[in-house]
Every structure is written in C-alpha cells, then in structure tokens.
C-alpha cells in the first residue's frame, strides 16, 4: 500500500509533456538519492575521529554536498512542474563536479568510478535528449583531459597516460552513439504512438458522433413509421368515431324524448359509455403517436397483443379477418411497449397490402425454447418468390407502386427485434401467403416467480 501511494505521489506532478511526465518519477528518485545519501555518508565519515582526513578529502566533501544541494533544488523544481530546468540543473551540476574531481585527483585516481559516468549519460539521453547526451559526453572528455594533465604534471609519462585517455574516450564514444540511436528511436516511437493515439481519439470521437447521428436518425425513422401507421389508421378511426358520435346522438335523442327518470338515466349511461370509449381511443392513439425516448420494461406480451386488436381492426381492410391464438401464460419480454406495438402494426400493414381481396391475418404467440417468446404473423395473401423474400428487410426495398410505400416498415421491424436481442425470419411462397416468425428473449412470467417463491 505504501509503495503504491509513493508511486502515485511521484507521478502526480504538473508536467504537460507526456514523455517528461513518464520520466518524472525516475528523476525525482535520483534527485532524492543524491540529496540524502552523500550528506549521510560524509556525516558518518565525520563521526569516525580515529581516521585522519586525507589530502583533498575536504574538497571532495564540499563538491559532494554541493551536488546534494543541486539535487534537492532539482527535486523541488520537478514537484513544481519545471521538469526541463530540473534535469538540466542536475546534469550541469554533475558535469561540473566531474571536471572538478578530475582536476583535483587526476585521471588515474578516478578510473574505478568511470562506469558511473555511463549512468549519467543514460540519464541525459533518456530524460533530456540527444543534445544533453553529447553535452555530457563532451564534459566527460574535458574531465578526462584535465585529469591526464594533472597525472602528467605529477608523474610524467605523457604517452602512457594519453593512450589510457584515448581508450576510455573511445569506449564512452561508443556508449554515446548507442544511446543516441536508442534515444532517437525511443522518442520517435513515442511520438508515433502519441500521433496514433490522437488519430484514434479523433476516429473514436467521429464514431461516437456517427453513432449518435444514427440513433437520432433511427428515432426519427421510428417516429415517421408511427406517423405512417397513424395515417393508415385514420380511416378506421374516423369510422369508429362516427359510430360513437351516432351512438351518443341516439342516446341523447332518446333522453330528450322521455320524461321518465329511469329511461333518462339509461340514456345518460349510454352517452357516458360511448364517450368513455371515444376518450380511451383518443388516449391510445395519442400515446402511440407521441415522440418519446425508448423505455424498456418487462411486460406480458399477451395483454399487449390483445389490446392491439381494436387498432388492428382499424388498420386492416374490412374484408380481412383476424385470428388470434395466444397461449397463457407467456414469457415476459424486455421491450419498449410502444415500439412493440409499432412492430406488430408494421407487419399487419404489410399483410393488409398482400391481401387486396381480403383474407385472414393470424397472430400466434407461444413460449419458445429457453423461456423465449415466439410470435408468428401469417396471411394468406399473394406470397413472395425467393428473390423478393431475400430482400424484404432491406431499407427502401418495396414491391408497392411509387408513392404507396417507403420500404422501411420491415427494416424497422428487424432493427427493433435485433436491438432487443431477438431475430426475425420470413417464410413465403407465391400464392400461399407469408408467415413472419419473431423470436424474442424472455423470462418466466410473474406468476411462475410467485409460485416458485
């Protein structure tokens, strides 16, 4: 837990550049180590009174403590979001200390500490970049030169020392070249990854916009299908309202023609009944035509189909008879009720067009395998050949004359069924009518839940 908290704390710096933000934890760790370990080491050295201080050791202590101070400042800069300044300050301080160390002790005395210089070249290449790498390499060459000059001044033998400097310089040059290529490749890979990520972000945003536009278009399409269905229902609705108005008028006429309280009460009751039927029909049509967002719920499809019978009678031609076969109990389905009704009305409208001379439109509902719902809508109309049957669910495909259909009804039905996790299948032959089989996932009806409980 403590390690995770420390990692999160080291990453929580106000650095904008993603590469610098990735390197910030490492630079902070290095700065903390340099800010704490050398002072502790020199403190331990000072607490050992029996060991005398060697020549130049005090100078080394001052250089080491100076690097610790710079490391502490570097750590503070990183926490404030000044990553680049912190890295440059730390590298400049180290380069200065290396040159001073070689000027103080010479090249030979620092031979065993040379591998540590490669670490700082790695830090310069990975954290700052190739310019800092070569700047650090030049600082190391300067330190080597200063150290050799010190050794020659003390011991002579310039040729032997020069050979050592050349070998060490070649080794560090090789390290610098490898780090340079690796650093460039890494930064190019990260840049390409960022560009690819940005491109994916743009594509993702475009995809979300297209999905939102598709959903909006789909909602508009469903609403247009409702409007089209309402247009088909108009004549039947007008006929029903005409009948209800006639019934109301008859009851009013009978009520006005009598002084008997009982007959008057019966006439008013008839008026009330007819008015209630008219109000129910109006509410039903308004609820169906209203533009609303999809709301899915669990419901019993049996009563929903039964309640649709008056609207189906208004939709179908007078010469078309209806046959209902609804098993009980049926599995409950998770669907939007209004869209369920739209789906049934669209199929019924296609059946009505397939039977211009009249016929039978059948509605069958029963439990399918796996607690699903199986709906079958059949007609004994003209039927379809294989070529038409293969395209009936394509948007805008229609066999009706121009101006008599959009070709979207069955396409909307398929989209609604598939959105609910179901499937639709059509069977038809010329002259033998058509049957649409709909399978919708469901669950056991509420009565079974209660019995099981």
Q: What is residue 278's predicted lDDT score, i.e. its pLDDT?
A: 64
Per-residue confidence (pLDDT) for residue 148, from 0 to 100: 83
Is the entire prediction scored with pTM above 0.85? no
Q: What is the dihedral of CA 253, 259, 262, 266, to 10 degrees?
A: 10
Using 50, 70 and 90 to split pLDDT, how confident is the model at 450? very low
More confident residue, 236 or 115: 115
The segment with the largest mean pLDDT, out of 191-205, 273-287, 429-443, is: 429-443
pLDDT of residue 141: 87
Which of residues 401 and 198 earns the better pLDDT score? 198
Please report which confidence band the pLDDT of residue 451 belongs to, taking 50, 70 and 90 as the band edges.
very low
- Domain 296-452 falls in which CATH fold? Heat Shock Protein 90 (3.30.565)
Mean pLDDT of the chain: 78
The mean pLDDT value for 343-360 works out to 86
Average pLDDT of the residues in 327-341: 87
> In this structure, is the dihedral angle defined by the CA atoms of residues 125, 130, 133 and 137, taken in order, positive or negative?
positive
Q: How far is CA 190 from CA 30, 174, 183, 323, in A?
A: 23, 24, 11, 68
- The pair phi, psi for residue 53, each rounded to 5°, is -75, 130
CA distance 88 to 14: 18
Rounded to whole angstroms, how far apart are CA atoms 209 and 201? 12
Q: What is the mean pLDDT of residues 410-435?
A: 86
Q: What is the pLDDT of residue 58?
A: 72
CA distance 101 to 147: 8
pLDDT per position as a tens digit, 263-273:
777 777 767 76
Which range (15-24, 111-120, 247-256, 282-291) has the least confidence? 282-291
Cα atoms in the Cβ-side hemisphere of radius 13 Å centred on 282: 8
The secondary structure of residue 157, as a DSSP letter, is -
| pLDDT tens sequence across 91-144 | 888 888 888 888 877 777 777 777 778 877 887 877 777 788 888 889 888 888
CA distances in angstroms from 334 to 63, 300, 326, 416, 422, listed in the order given:
76, 9, 18, 12, 11
**pLDDT given for residue 252 in this prediction:** 74
Residue 385 has pLDDT above 70, yes or no: yes
């Amino acid at each position: 837990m403590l390690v995770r908290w420390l990692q999160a704390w080291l990453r929580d710096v106000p650095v904008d550049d993603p590469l610098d933000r990735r390197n910030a934890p490492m630079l902070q760790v290095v700065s903390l180590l340099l800010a704490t370990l050398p002072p502790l080491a020199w403190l331990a050295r000072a607490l050992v009174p029996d060991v005398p201080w060697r020549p130049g050791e005090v100078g080394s202590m001052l250089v080491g403590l100076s690097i610790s101070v710079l490391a502490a400042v570097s750590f503070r800069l990183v926490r404030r979001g000044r990553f680049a300044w912190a890295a440059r300050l730390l590298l400049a301080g180290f380069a200065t200390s290396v040159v001073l160390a070689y000027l103080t002790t010479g090249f030979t005395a620092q031979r065993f500490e040379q591998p540590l210089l490669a670490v700082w070249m790695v830090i310069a290449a990975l954290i700052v970049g190739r310019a800092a790498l070569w700047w650090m390499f030049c600082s190391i060459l300067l330190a080597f030169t200063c150290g050799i000059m010190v050794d020659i001044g003390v011991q002579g033998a310039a040729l032997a020392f020069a050979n050592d400097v050349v070998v060490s310089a070649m080794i560090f040059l090789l390290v610098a070249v490898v780090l340079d290529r690796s650093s460039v490749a890494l930064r190019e890979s990260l840049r390409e990854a960022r560009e690819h990520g940005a491109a994916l972000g743009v594509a993702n945003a475009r995809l979300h916009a297209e999905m939102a536009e598709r959903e909006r278009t789909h909602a508009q399409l469903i609403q247009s299908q409702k409007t089209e269905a309402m247009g088909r229902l108009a004549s039947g609705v007008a006929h029903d309202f005409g009948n209800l108005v006639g019934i109301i008028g008859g009851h009013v006429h009978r009520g006005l023609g009598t002084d008997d309280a009982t007959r008057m009460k019966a006439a008013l009751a008839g008026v009330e009944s007819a008015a209630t039927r008219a109000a129910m029909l109006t509410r039903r049509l308004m609820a169906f035509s209203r533009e609303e967002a999809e709301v899915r719920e669990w419901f019993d499809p049996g009563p929903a189909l039964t309640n649709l019978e008056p609207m189906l009678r208004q939709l179908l031609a007078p010469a078309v008879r209806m046959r209902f076969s609804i098993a009980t109990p049926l599995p409950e389905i998770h669907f939007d009720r209004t869209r369920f009704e739209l789906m049934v009305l669209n199929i019924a409208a296609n059946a009505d067009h397939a039977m211009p001379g009249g016929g039978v439109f059948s509605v069958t509902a029963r439990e399918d395998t796996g607690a699903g719902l199986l709906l079958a809508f059949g007609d004994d109309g003209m039927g379809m050949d294989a070529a038409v049957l293969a395209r009936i669910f394509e948007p805008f495909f229609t066999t009706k004359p121009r101006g008599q259909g959009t070709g979207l009804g069955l396409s909307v039905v398929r989209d609604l069924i598939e959105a609910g996790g179901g499937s639709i299948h059509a069977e038809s032959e010329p002259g033998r009518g058509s049957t649409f089989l709909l399978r919708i996932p469901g669950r056991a009806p509420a009565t079974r839940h209660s019995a099981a409980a």
